[in-house]
Amino acid sequence: MVLRARRAKDDEGVSLLLVALCMVAILGITAIVVDLGFARQVRRQTQGGVDAAALAAARELPPNASEATKTTYADNARAVAFTYAVNDLVKGTKPTPATCASGVASCTQTLGGVTITVTTPYTLAGSTLDPFSLVRVEACQSTPTFFAGVLLQKSPRVCRSAVGRYHAVGGSYDFGLVATDPTKCAALTFAGDSDTVLSSNGAVMVNSSCTSTTAGAMDSSGSSWQLVSQYIGVVGTATLAPCDPATQTNKCTQTIPTQGIAPFGDPLSYLVEPSVPSGTSQSCSGGDQTLSPGYFPALCKINNNAKVVLRPGLYYFGNGFSTNGNASITCANSDTDSSCAGVTLFIGGGELKMNGTGKVFLPPPASGPYAGVGIFQSRSDTTEATINGTADFALGTLYVPSANLKTTGSGGGNYININGMVVAKTVGISGTFNFNINVPSTVPNVPDAPDIGLEK
């Protein structure tokens, strides 16, 4: 009896010991699971931080190989990466990163317990991109633990990295038909039976940021207009219904506009306005006449059936230029040489109206400061410019930087043939005519669209 009682007490002691040992094991496993779960969360946060830092730094990388020789791009990229990494990964007070040595590819700093390394240029195995197009951001930090220390385990160290890229994706497009106004809705409009064709790699570019659903930056009315272009870029939105090529069967253009592109500058901003020519002022009002380059202070009106011949050179019209009726205006080198070395009309002020139905033959100069430019309206002149198509119309680049350009036609067989670009603050195309823009390879290129993302 005494022996049985003693055995029972011994069994109770063993059970308690086993329970205690099991509790220790369970608590240990629980501690490990909790700490591992927290470590996984830290890894995710660290990865998110380096991803954001790499993307932000990639925006600062050089756009091409020629710019890559400048250390400023890489220096800025490293500085931006450190700033983003600190803001996302360091808890509490954010320390200010030190300035990395200029021109040194890799820079490492420990800030708030986080060791951050930024490298650019960076060579990534398997990538086809140049090293100057890549930036690598790595962050390492110890993971805080709740129970690992009790089990004599060291805090795990987490390291995560990301590689950002800046890759200029070029479509090899050239500026063709351009509306430069930065905010106006309906900055470029199509209507009527107009048929606009851009040859070569000419692009339609709209700089307006308007996103109205009623009339976006690029707008249209009706379903009879036509537009042929390899590329249509719009900073804002395009409202082309019922001719939206993305959703409608009645496609007035086969090219779906690329919306949300980066704003761009005036492709002809480099042109310097001419000074008023010296010498005797001239006049051009009247009937048939031959004009020489120079300064025309009064409004130049060519009406009715007048036939006007321009000798090659620069014509400065101080108070506007207008044609009407069946008047023709052509260029010829001389009375015996009907070819033309090129004409540029500069509108210093007043109106530009070419409403006649007669022949217009004004090829632009092939060289000099206004090479390729047919008409240049002063940047201080905000008067709307109007051009009607005729049966025989040839002109160089049409540049109206500060005003609306209205182009129209009144019947089949009417043309406006531009050998160059059409650049205006806003552009309205309507009526019944063909608008042919032959874009030569010598005009400025559309800026490459940057492909910014994570390469790894």
State the pLDDT confidence band at 242, using cuts at 50, 70 and 90.
confident
Degrees (nearest 5) of the Cα angle 218, 219, 224? 125
The beta-strand segments (E) located in 64-146 are 106-111, 114-119, 134-142
Q: Which of 45-49, 145-149, 353-357, 370-374 has the lowest mean pLDDT?
A: 145-149
443: tokens are 């005009």
| pLDDT greater than 80 at residue 268 | yes
Residues forming beta bridges with residue 450, ordered by sequence position: 168
Q: Could you give the 3-state DSSP secondary structure of residue 185?
A: coil
Q: How far apart are alpha carbons 343 and 374 in whole angstroms?
A: 6
The phi and psi torsions of 29 (rounded to 5 degrees) equal -65, -40
pLDDT at residue number 400: 97
Residues forming beta bridges with residue 263, ordered by sequence position: none
Q: How far apart are alpha carbons 86 and 93 in whole angstroms?
A: 10
Q: How far apart are alpha carbons 129 and 125 in whole angstroms?
A: 10
Average pLDDT of 165-174? Answer: 75
State the pLDDT confidence band at 447, using cuts at 50, 70 and 90.
confident
Model confidence pLDDT, tens digit, residues 171-216:
678 899 999 999 999 999 998 888 888 876 789 999 999 999 899 9
| pLDDT greater than 70 at residue 147 | no
Q: How far apart are alpha carbons 388 and 303 in whole angstroms?
A: 14
Model confidence pLDDT, tens digit, residues 279-302:
889 998 778 999 999 999 999 998
3-state helix, strand, coil in the chain (%, to 5): 20, 35, 45
| pLDDT greater than 70 at residue 250 | no
Q: How far apart are alpha carbons 222 and 382 in whole angstroms?
A: 28
Distance of CA 304 to the CA centre of its chain: 45
Strand bridging mode 385-388 / 258-259: unpaired
- Does the predicted TM-score (pTM) go above 0.85? no
